[in-house]
Amino acid sequence: MKIGYFGPAGTFTEEAASQREGELVPYSTIPEVFEAVHSGEVDQGVVPIENSIEGSVGVTLDLLAHQYLLKIKGEIILPISHNLLINPDAELEDIEVVYSHYQPLSQCRLFLEKMGVRTQATRSTAAAAGMIKDNKWAGAIGTRRAAQLYGLKIAAEDIQDHENNMTRFVVIEQEDHAPTGKDKTSVVLCLSQDRPGGLYQILGEFAGEDINLTKIESRPSKEKLGSYIFFVDMEGHHKDLKIMKVINRVRSKVGYIKILGSYPQEGDD
């Protein structure tokens, strides 16, 4: 089993992917992971989808909604502890700029403001670590493993602005997942027209069948300002009769509804 992940080695996504059984294959960007799963180069992909401080990873939602028919077949929820990594010969007070993926830069915004440094977004945390190994004036936010891999020292640890920092990663693949009895389903939909009560009516259909919605998020449709699509997570499998009934019933009331996948719920066992 080949598992593509948002790399390179040393990213938080690698930590998530290493929970899966199989050969890990790193890709430099999230779209490259989607393309590798789509083409069959790898059997599954692991990508970040949302963080408890900074919210959704937009590119992942957009690729699921607009560009690929891949299915979410699992989720991995990891506690995220950010570290400030610097050259072994540098001192914290020498640091003028900090590099990292935009998500960690946002999750550590207050810490970075207190440091009084400039920030620069990079493709990933591990890419940032690889960039600074010969530079004594730059730091990177990343994993403990990235410090080992790229020969850096940890100048500060646990630097995120809020406790209980969690990131949700999804496992994507070409096929759908069979019901396990404790599943969740993710869909994306757009309204056929913007009118009062339009979204309420759609969500009411789920409530009418006693389906518990666990997440609703709007995201720009990219068609025009003020036009949105809606990502909805719910308990149950899309092959459950009550979910099938609702999806079929709302199909005539929405612009489109796309099942992104049904997969086992991660969480406290």
Residues that bind ligand PPY (CB under 6 A): 6, 11-13, 48, 51, 57, 80, 101, 103-104, 124-126, 167
Amino acid letter for position 210? D
* Degrees, nearest 5: CA angle 14-15-19: 105
Q: Compute φ and ψ for 9, nearest 5 degrees.
A: -50, 135
CA dist., res. 8 & res. 125, Å (int): 9
Compare residues 123 and 177 and give the one whose CB is closer to ligand PPY: 123
Smallest distance, ligand PPY to C-beta of residue 226, A: 28
Smallest distance, ligand PPY to C-beta of residue 239, A: 31
Compare residues 59 and 199 and give the one whose CB is closer to ligand PPY: 59
Asked about 6 being catalytic, the answer comes back as: no
Among the listed residues 169, 206, 230, 231, the single catalytic one is 169
What is the torsion angle, in degrees rounded to the nearest 10, for the CA atoms of residue 83, residue 141, residue 64 and residue 259?
20
Compare residues 83 and 262 and give the one whose CB is closer to ligand PPY: 83
Tokens of 63: 């690729």
Smallest distance, ligand PPY to C-beta of residue 37, A: 17
- Which uninterrupted H or E stretch holds 198? helix 198-208
Asked about 34 being catalytic, the answer comes back as: no
CA dist., res. 91 & res. 64, Å (int): 42
Among the listed residues 167, 185, 206, 230, the single catalytic one is 167
Smallest distance, ligand PPY to C-beta of residue 47, A: 8
CA dist., res. 43 & res. 23, Å (int): 10
Compare residues 13 and 185 and give the one whose CB is closer to ligand PPY: 13
Catalytic residues: 167, 169
